């Protein structure tokens, strides 16, 4: 009986030790592989402040839809500006890869916009129209920010 209790105690001690080792490895991996934390300000693009001001003024459903439309135009212009600047600065092979990526992104964007339209179109109520317009704007915003960041890396590292 005593031997059985000792084996059980030993098994429990090994399990506790294994759990501690696993926690230590997980904690280490989180610190090593996690992306650096950024404050909200670091994640903001200057256009975000303009867009926030536009949305702050929107007091009706129509005004919110109009605000999302204006925001989309700002983000589309930024996307095109970054793309044009990358075109000038990238080496030919890198630009060809960007061009192919952009063509595929346009296919993705069109499919995403169709999905957004169908998704919000299934609901009754005017509140879904501004939600759809905002979601459409976010698709272009995400790509514009991605290209903006690539451009920043290029500038920072000698491009």
Each residue's pLDDT tens digit, 38-83: 445 556 899 999 999 999 998 999 999 999 999 999 999 999 999 9
Distance CA(14)–CA(10), nearest Å, equals 6
CA-nearest of 117, 104, 106, 93 to 140 is: 106
pTM over 0.85: no
pLDDT tens column, 116-145:
999 999 999 899 999 999 999 999 999 999
Distance CA(134)–CA(66), nearest Å, equals 10
Distance CA(58)–CA(68), nearest Å, equals 10
Instruction: Compute CA distances 158 → 80, 89, 95, 107, 150, whole Å.
Output: 22, 10, 16, 31, 12
């Amino acid at each position: 009986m005593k031997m059985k209790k000792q084996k059980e105690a030993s098994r429990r001690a090994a399990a506790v030790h294994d759990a501690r080792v696993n926690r230590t490895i997980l904690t280490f991996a989180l610190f090593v592989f996690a992306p650096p934390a950024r404050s909200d300000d670091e994640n903001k693009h200057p256009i975000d402040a303009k867009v926030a001001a536009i949305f702050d003024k929107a007091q009706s459903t129509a005004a919110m839809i109009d605000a999302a439309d204006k925001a989309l135009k700002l983000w589309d212009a930024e996307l095109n500006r970054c793309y044009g600047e990358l075109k000038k600065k990238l080496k030919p092979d890198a630009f060809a890869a960007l061009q192919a990526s952009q063509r595929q992104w346009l296919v993705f964007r069109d499919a995403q916009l169709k999905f957004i339209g169908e998704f919000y179109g299934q609901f009754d109520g005017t509140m879904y129209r501004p939600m759809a317009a905002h979601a459409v704007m976010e698709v272009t915003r995400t790509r514009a920010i991605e290209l903006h960041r690539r451009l920043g890396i290029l500038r920072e590292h000698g491009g």
